Structures are given as C-alpha cells and as structure tokens.
Structure 1
Amino acid sequence: MSQQMAGATRPQEPKIDRSLTLHLRGDWGSANLHRVCGWIAQELTDRCGPHTRIATWNSRGMSDAVRAVGRGEVQVALTTPAAFTAAALDGRGIYADEFYPDLRALGVVPQRDRLVVAVHKDLGITTFAELRQSKPVLRLATSVNDGVNYVGLAAHELLTRAGVDVVGWGGEFLEDERPFESLDHATEGRANAIVHEAIMLPAWQEIGRDFSFLEVEDHVLDSLHDDFGWPAAVVDDGYFPGRAAFRTLEYSDFLVCARADLAEDVAYAIAWVLGETRHIIEGQYRHLAPERSPITYPLDPVTMGRAPIPLHPGAARYYDALPAK
C-alpha cells in the first residue's frame, strides 16, 4: 500500500528479514475470526523472511483463546467480545483461578453486536418485571455455560441478576455451542425464549416478528459492569421489526491479543496489517450493509487501536504513528 494516503504520511511498512513460525487461534473454522487470522497470516507472511510459516488453530474464540495466549500455547489469538478479556488481567469472574496480567492488545476489529433477551409474544411479556411476575415455563435457547463459552456465561449471569429462574419455574435450557442452533430452536418452535448474540444474522429478523425483545434493567447492567467490566449498549430504534431502541449487554468487537513478550517488530507488523491492509478484509463483507455485517466497516485504524486491555508497545508504535485527524 502506498505510504501516502489523503495527503498524510502513513506509518512505515514493516519488513522483517528473519523467517517466523507463528501460531494463531481463530474460531471453530468457518466464521469471522478464522477469516481475520487468514488475512493477518497472508499479509504478515508477505513482509517476513522467505521460510515464514503461520498456522491457525481452531478455537472457540472465547476464554479458551485468552488462556491459550496467556499460557504461551499460541503467540496470537482472536477473542470476542473484546471487553470480556479485561477480567483476565486481574482475575475477575471465570479468570479468578488463573489470570494473565501480561496480556496485550495488537488491535481491535470492530463488530457492532449485542447480547439480547427475547421471549415469544404468545407469553404476553414485554419487560423483565412482567417476566418475574408471570414466571412462565421457558424453553430458553442459549449457549453452553461451561466456563469457556462467553454467551452461556453472560446469559446465566444476566438472568440470575435479573431474578429469572428458568429451571425453578419448571422450564429448561436448550444449550448449544454456536448461535445458529439456538436461532433454529427459536424459529422452529422448540424455544419460546432466547438469549444470544450475532444480531446481524438474518434469522433474528424472522424471530423479531414473533418475539418481544426485553430491555435489561439498569441495576443488572451496572452490576455486570462493576463486577466484570462488561459494558452496556443500545440496540438502535427499528433494528428489530417494530422494536424501539433498548439497552442491553454489549457484545462487540474482535480483540487481537498477544503477550507482552511477543517480539516488538512482530507486534508492530500485525498492527500495521490490521490498519493499512484493511481493504482486504472489508472486501469480504461489502455485499452486506455495514449495520448487518459481522465486521462493521469501514474500518478506522484509530478506532482499531482503542482496546480494553493495554496495547503491546510494538502495536502502540503503529497507532501512535497514525496521522492526527
């Protein structure tokens, strides 16, 4: 890419003469984190020694990915949502038994997402207060709550703090790993409630015709932020059919993370790839509207350098060199 863009000098393109062997962790294999890993691997290999080898390991892209980096099993991993990683720095929540103060960010790939709670309109419930009062029998679709899957973790934390006792009210959890199975439960009538993310998937629009989306109460959102650093966010007016804007738990962004001992020139090079070759990953999503895309383009390098954990010094060198706006 040219060193001149919009009349401003861009950060220097990296060139690493030695050959590298790097291990990355993406997702299950066919989703967005693996795409980002492929993009990083391609562009980084082009700028390193001739015998460079970069492998991408399958992962769940959640606490397992964070632990893999923290334990030194891989050099770089992607995890989502980005904000959930902050608890791994000082041992909050699921990281209380093992935490990693030397985790560092190489950048953030923006993805605007939310964790939402929806119940079937046949239940006649539109708020958490009505849900607690009615105590319906729920067949609630979400992800497994096994200490690794962030969706299952967040769903159970949110419901518990909101006073929703699915099992105690005679209901059950329908638990799977990925959002697709949970969405199928809702669209095919097996579930009358769902707590999940990936709200840009088309199936949510189908669900939106028959389900009511519940605003999460302030005290629940505040407690999740205070205890774990999980932020709240708004789902925009009309994002779901006929639903006004409402607050819920944020579930945004892919964090590219490493340890502080990653070589500084490698950290700089990966940050440079994220910011300066962003058109490559953007091109894979431009058939989708930005607000319905798993990666929220156009990507902005300055924004990509704002992470919930400290930047690696090599990555910081790239973001600090960006032209001032």
Structure 2
Amino acid sequence: MSQTATDAQRPPEPDIARSLTLHLRGDWGGANLHRVCGWIAQELGDRTGPHTRIATWNSRGFVDAVRAVGRGEVQVALATPSAFVCAALDGRGPYADEHYPDLRALGVVPQRDRLVIGVRKSLGIGSFEELRARRPALRLATSVDDGVNHVGVAALELLARSGVDIEGWGGELLLDERPFESLEHVAEGRADAIAHEAVMLPAWQEIGADLTFLEVEPEVLDGLRADFGWPDAVVEEGYFPGSPRFRTLDFSDFLVLARADLPEDVAYAIAWVLGETRHQIERQYRHIPPERSPITYPLDPVTMGRAPIPLHPGAARYYEALPGWEAAPAS
C-alpha cells in the first residue's frame, strides 16, 4: 500500500476555529503526567483558535485527579494506574461517598508497571505464607494511605488481605508521597521491606538484588479484582536481578479522562493528538529501552483507545476511524 493511500485512511486532522481555555491536571510537576499534559497542550494549541490558553495544574495523579474532573474543577486530567479509575464510576473504594458515572476516557498512554512487595533476602522469607508464620518486625516503606494516593491505598489493602500486620507485629511503616523516598529508605538501610510501583526506575535495579519479591496469593488478587476492579499481572523472570517470574498487582497506564460534557470536537482533537502526534512524546523516551521506560513505546493508537472506562463519544469517533479498530480485541 502506498504512503498516500495509508494517509488517506487516517482520521482527519482537527481544526477548531474558536479559541479554547482549558485546564488540565498532571502530576506533582516534574514527572511523566506533566510531560503528557505539555504534549497535549502544545499539539492542541496548534489546532485551535489563536487565543487558546491551556493551563496544567499540579496534581498527585490519583484520586484527587479523578475528583477534579468529576467535580468540574478541570476539563481533563491524567490518573494512574488507569484501571483504578473504574471504581469512580459506581462508587467503590475511595469513591464510596462521591462517585462520577459521567467520567469518560480520551485515551490511554501506556506505562507497563506493577506494584511489588520486596523483603530483604537476609530475612529468609520467600512467600506471604512464610511472612505470616514468622511475623517479623519489618520496617516497610510505601506511600501514604490517605484515601488519595493509589500506591498507599493499594499497598496497605493488599497487605491487610494477605494477613500482614506491620505495626501489630512490632514493625514500622515509613510513609511518603513518591517512590523516590521509599526506594531511598531501602537503599540507605532505613527499611528492610518495600511495597511500591514505578518498577522501571533505575533505583529498583540497584536494590533489587538484595530483595525477595513476594508473589501475591491468588485469592487476594481475585478479591481485589472483584471488589475494586484492580487487575493483576506478572513480572517476568530477571526483570529484577536474579528474581524469578511472579504475579502481583498491575499498576499500568496513564488514563486521560474528562467528563461526558466536554465538547465533542475537543474530545476528538485530544484523542487525535494522542494517536497521531505520538512521535512527539516517544522521542522523549527513546534513549531508554521500552521495557524500562516510564512510557512504554512504540505507542499504538488502537491500543490507546482500549480504555477501562467508556470512551467519550468524540474520542470514540477518532479511534473507531482507525484502520484495524474493529479487529482489535476489546479491553
């Protein structure tokens, strides 16, 4: 097929004559969600009216970002992991008191991530069964469990369902907001266990050889999926130095979300930007091997349209126009 014929099959480029004022929410300011917001803002600004203004607000990228969209504080936000947003539609977990059935997806930016539990090899513990039998006084580093931080919420829920009581066994929880502090606690000897994500960070390779990563028991994973919609996934053999393959909680992907009342042409334009200008964000990560990259490239527009919550109709119009959309398996 010629290049011209291929181009002719692509969804049409958006051209919005009016100027927009949009508010986005990314991350704390220096991580990957903010980069994605900057990419969207630049490419959308090129295809809208001359007085378009797009602001990116600092965020945590978790429950707070979802609430900001649901409450109409911003038009678009990114949240990770993407599957955790499903609970906001029908009021499960942290959304029991306030949920948002009109949340819609504009697309998914892939990040293959996992939430893992690692303990010092010197402790001689190789499973949750052994951990429960030994009941060691662990100093465990993870994120704050404040009902907002998905890492802390998930880690402590997983540990509780696994029969692990860190403080009840005489141990200590070292709670921080971001993974960097938790990884430093292990590297500098302040912690002898960790429950966290961002497994592609180089710091995991530096501490991983000293850790045994615990496989989460099937009944725990099944319960988390049934109650909250949290999926599970594997970490392949050798991803951490000397580690075998194991199954744990999936913590993948950045969900770009809005409400159903976002204008359809804007939703289409943002979806088009995600799929058709993906090289702009890919080039920022190509110096990193894909399996170690904070954004898992190469990006595939069809896959980016397979969101865990319903697509906005405007975004759906973009993805459904892609060659191969109908043949792609549903998420």
TM-score class, shorter: over 0.9
Q: Return the offset for 1:5.
A: 7.3
Matched, 1:319 2:284: no
Matched, 1:178 2:192: no
Residue 45 to residue 7, structure 1, CA distance change in 2 (3 Å): closer
Amino acid at match of 1:89: L
Paired position in structure 2 for 1:130: 130
Matched, 1:61 2:82: no
Amino acid at match of 1:295: I
Amino acid at match of 1:17: A
Amino acid at match of 2:302: V
**SS in structure 1 opposite 2:222?**
helix
Partner Cα separation in structure 1 for residue 82 and residue 34 of structure 2: 16
Amino acid at match of 2:234: V
Gaps of 5+ in 1: none
Matched, 1:79 2:74: no
Paired position in structure 1 for 2:25: 25
**SS in structure 2 opposite 1:275?**
helix
With normalisation by structure 2, the TM-score equals: 0.96
Paired position in structure 1 for 2:212: 212
Q: Return the offset for 1:9.
A: 1.2
Partner Cα separation in structure 2 for residue 101 and residue 257 of structure 1: 12
Q: Return the offset for 1:280.
A: 0.3
Amino acid at match of 1:144: V
Matched residue count:
323
**SS in structure 2 opposite 1:78?**
strand
**SS in structure 1 opposite 2:174?**
strand
Amino acid at match of 1:312: H
Paired position in structure 1 for 2:233: 233
**SS in structure 2 opposite 1:153?**
helix
For residues 48-83 of structure 1, the C-alpha deviation after alignment (integer angstroms, 9 at most, x for no partner) is 000000000000000000000000000000000000
Amino acid at match of 1:239: Y
Task: Report if the CA contact (8 A) 1:8-1:323 is conserved.
Answer: no
**SS in structure 2 opposite 1:115?**
strand
For residues 1-58 of structure 1, the C-alpha deviation after alignment (integer angstroms, 9 at most, x for no partner) is xx95746610000000000000000000000000000000000000000000000000
**SS in structure 1 opposite 2:56?**
strand
The structure 1 segments of at least 4 consecutive aligned residues displaced by more than 2 Å after TM superposition are 3-8
Partner Cα separation in structure 1 for residue 199 and residue 156 of structure 2: 19
Q: Return the offset for 1:267.
A: 0.0
Paired position in structure 1 for 2:266: 266
**SS in structure 2 opposite 1:155?**
helix
Paired position in structure 1 for 2:249: 249
Amino acid at match of 1:281: I
Partner Cα separation in structure 2 for residue 323 and residue 306 of structure 1: 14
Task: Report if the CA contact (8 A) 1:19-1:52 is conserved.
Answer: yes
Paired position in structure 1 for 2:42: 42
**SS in structure 2 opposite 1:297?**
coil
Task: Report if the CA contact (8 A) 1:4-1:10 is conserved.
Answer: no
Paired position in structure 2 for 1:146: 146
Task: Report if the CA contact (8 A) 1:87-1:228 is conserved.
Answer: yes
Q: Return the offset for 1:197.
A: 0.1
Paired position in structure 2 for 1:310: 310
Partner Cα separation in structure 1 for residue 77 and residue 92 of structure 2: 20
- Match runs of 1:80-95 below 5 Å: 80-95=80-95
Matched, 1:286 2:263: no
For residues 195-249 of structure 1, the C-alpha deviation after alignment (integer angstroms, 9 at most, x for no partner) is 0000000110111111100000000000000000000000011101111110000
Q: Return the offset for 1:122.
A: 1.2
**SS in structure 1 opposite 2:55?**
strand
Partner Cα separation in structure 1 for residue 161 and residue 287 of structure 2: 39
With normalisation by structure 1, the TM-score equals: 0.98
Paired position in structure 2 for 1:297: 297
For residues 74-105 of structure 1, the C-alpha deviation after alignment (integer angstroms, 9 at most, x for no partner) is 00000000000000000001100000000000
Residue 46 to residue 98, structure 1, CA distance change in 2 (3 Å): same
Amino acid at match of 2:193: A
Amino acid at match of 2:198: A
**SS in structure 2 opposite 1:141?**
strand
Partner Cα separation in structure 1 for residue 295 and residue 86 of structure 2: 21
Amino acid at match of 2:147: G
Q: Return the offset for 1:120.
A: 0.5
Partner Cα separation in structure 2 for residue 14 and residue 76 of structure 1: 18
Q: Return the offset for 1:290.
A: 0.1
Matched, 1:189 2:189: yes
Partner Cα separation in structure 1 for residue 117 and residue 4 of structure 2: 46
Amino acid at match of 2:261: D
Amino acid at match of 2:298: P
